[in-house]
Structure 1
Amino acid sequence: MPGPGAGEFVRAEPGAVNTDPNEYKYELQCHLGGGDFDTPCLGRQLECKDGPDGEDGIPVMWLSRPRGVPGGVWAHHSGPTCLYDAAPEDLLPRIAADIQREFQNLPINAGTVTAQPSPHTLRGAETNFYAEAVEQQFDITMFGQAVHVVATPVQYTWNYGDGTVFGPQPSMGGPLPQDRWGEKTRTSHAYGQTGDFQVVLTTSFQGTYSVNAGPPLPIPGQGQFSAPPQTVSVWRSLTRNYADDCNANPQGQGCPGAAASR
């Protein structure tokens, strides 16, 4: 399991369906096809000066069409935006080939984990755990291009520290009012032994990226990031009857001054 702040990437399963219903391409702004350009358009086309690497770029329009639809027609999607690269026709494949590595190296916050009750709970009782994780956005530079990445939490895995792992699954759980502590929830866990246990939440994020304000493109697979471990102390509950008078014998069994045991 990755340590806090580190990420690993789970690639999409073979045959997995791309969740984006469209496919995309770009064309030069004002381009009419062949070697022809729209002259009036050229007079007002987007200026692409001083890109992320200080180089000038080219203005483009993004087109999209339904993926896998025979005879699908390309239509305007977004733009104009700029591409800053000497070989723009190879730019998107180069970024697509490297985006997974960039994604797993982002400082994505896996979120926080809360236990109810905490930091002490009872052996055999249901301890409710829930996570809080949010969508995060990052701006990075790849091959001289401005790339905007959005990471969205989609699945959660709970390692309860006693050898029990639950997930990955889509529920982050939720808090219970104090009068309901001890109820079984989807993400709760009952410990069979006493002791201190390190609970680790691993959050799986789905990502999208856009190049120079172009259309959002899906990042196949999921990045997994782990939150810092939280210590939960599991105690045992005992019920006993005592005959000692604590005023006469403060060290008597059951008295506040007597040593307690787990």
Structure 2
Amino acid sequence: MRTWTSLVMVVMLHLELTPSDPASVHDGTEANFGAIGVDVGGLVKDPLTGEMVPEAPGAVPTDPNEYKYELQCHLGGGDFDTPCLGRQLECKDGPDGEEGIPVTWLSRPRGVPGAVWAHHSGPTCLFDARPEDLLPRIAADIQREFQSLPVNAGTVVAQPSPHTLRGAETNFYADAAEQQFDVTMFGQQVHIVATPVQYTWNYGDGTVFGPQPSMGGPLPQDRWGEKTRTSHAYGATGDFQVMLTTTFQGTYSVNAGPPLPIPGQGQFSAPPQTISVWRSLTRNYADDCNANSQGQGCPGTAR
């Protein structure tokens, strides 16, 4: 449990961060500090300079909500809930050994007149006295971080496999799943969720299908050879390397805050799957093996 002295220090720290006017951060982005909390404004990357800048007026946001945080136990103005302070979250031993601030995250629908702020998540610890300086930096680098993650693109499954027939439909499908990662960026804990959204098939014979949203699916053995959304019929025999590229969409949250969309997408390739295409021969025989056991095509006779 915190002592009263440490509680006063937390309150004083919050008051130091709440001037009545918006505080401009180093990249020109404004984070609005008021009596209730801190608004986290939308950011976009300038294609000419690569810097993070506020969203242009009229821009269509990728997240339907907007977010802000406030101190845990804050009642508004300079008032705090005294019983709540007695069980306030301990925020010690941050990424760089510093103490943090206990906060809760609020959200409301973006652009809805009269929308009220509602609890989104928390309480959680914010381990930076001026997180508005770090959020734009994280937003600027999150796409590169996303691309460098060891995301598993999934595996390629073929029916039938490892051999199939020339001219027959071979059913391919992907075995891919959502994945989660925890990384540290600028001393902040960042949680990333990668979700597969599109798939591109390279069947190894010059045919490419996608990107498209279907990962395909298995067929029962008695239906092998049917045409499916992701099946392919080879026109020649031989061994072919089937390659799958999976496109992932990501979200990230900073210090257990609200999930925010990662701009752009990440593409990851699965290990290639070898498929051997054989040819089939069809012959018709007129002999009745019951009447002539040595007839062409009968068991035990040369073909």
Indicate the TM-score class for this superposition, using the shorter chain for normalisation.
Answer: 0.7 to 0.9
The corresponding residue for 2:268 is 225
The corresponding residue for 1:88 is 131
Q: If the length of structure 2 is used for normalisation, what is the TM-score?
A: 0.69
* TM-superposed deviation, 1:241: 8.2
Q: What is the number of equivalent residue pairs in this alignment? A: 231
Flag the 1:18–1:128 CA change in 2: closer, same or farther, 3 A: farther
Tell me how far apart the structure 1 counterparts of residues 111 and 177 of structure 2 sit (CA, whole Å).
33
Structure 2 residue 97 is the aligned partner of structure 1 residue 45: no
Q: Deviations over 1:174-197 (max 9, x none)?
A: 111222211111100011122211
Q: Tell me the amino acid that sits aligned with residue 211 of structure 1.
A: V
Q: Deviations over 1:48-94 (max 9, x none)?
A: 11112222111222111101223432222222211112421222222
Structure 2 residue 158 is the aligned partner of structure 1 residue 158: no
Tell me how far apart the structure 1 counterparts of residues 59 and 176 of structure 2 sit (CA, whole Å).
25
Tell me how far apart the structure 2 counterparts of residues 121 and 74 of structure 1 sit (CA, whole Å).
58
The corresponding residue for 2:22 is none
Tell me how far apart the structure 2 counterparts of residues 39 and 171 of structure 1 sit (CA, whole Å).
51
SS of the aligned residue for 2:112 comes to: coil
The corresponding residue for 2:41 is none
Tell me how far apart the structure 1 counterparts of residues 191 and 86 of structure 2 sit (CA, whole Å).
29
Q: Which runs of 5+ in 1 are unaligned?
A: 1-10, 243-253, 257-262
Tell me how far apart the structure 2 counterparts of residues 255 and 57 of structure 1 sit (CA, whole Å).
84
Tell me how far apart the structure 1 counterparts of residues 234 and 60 of structure 2 sit (CA, whole Å).
39
The corresponding residue for 2:163 is 120
Structural mapping, 1:103-182, within 5 Å: 103-182=146-225
Tell me how far apart the structure 2 counterparts of residues 212 and 233 of structure 1 sit (CA, whole Å).
50
Flag the 1:255–1:231 CA change in 2: closer, same or farther, 3 A: farther
Q: Tell me the amino acid that sits aligned with residue 209 of structure 2.
A: F
Flag the 1:190–1:70 CA change in 2: closer, same or farther, 3 A: same
Flag the 1:71–1:122 CA change in 2: closer, same or farther, 3 A: same
SS of the aligned residue for 1:167 comes to: strand
Q: Which runs of 5+ in 2 are unaligned?
A: 1-44, 46-57, 286-300
Of stretches 63-72 and 223-232 in structure 1, the one that deviates more from structure 2 is: 63-72
RMSD: 2.5
The corresponding residue for 1:58 is 101
Q: If the length of structure 1 is used for normalisation, what is the TM-score?
A: 0.79
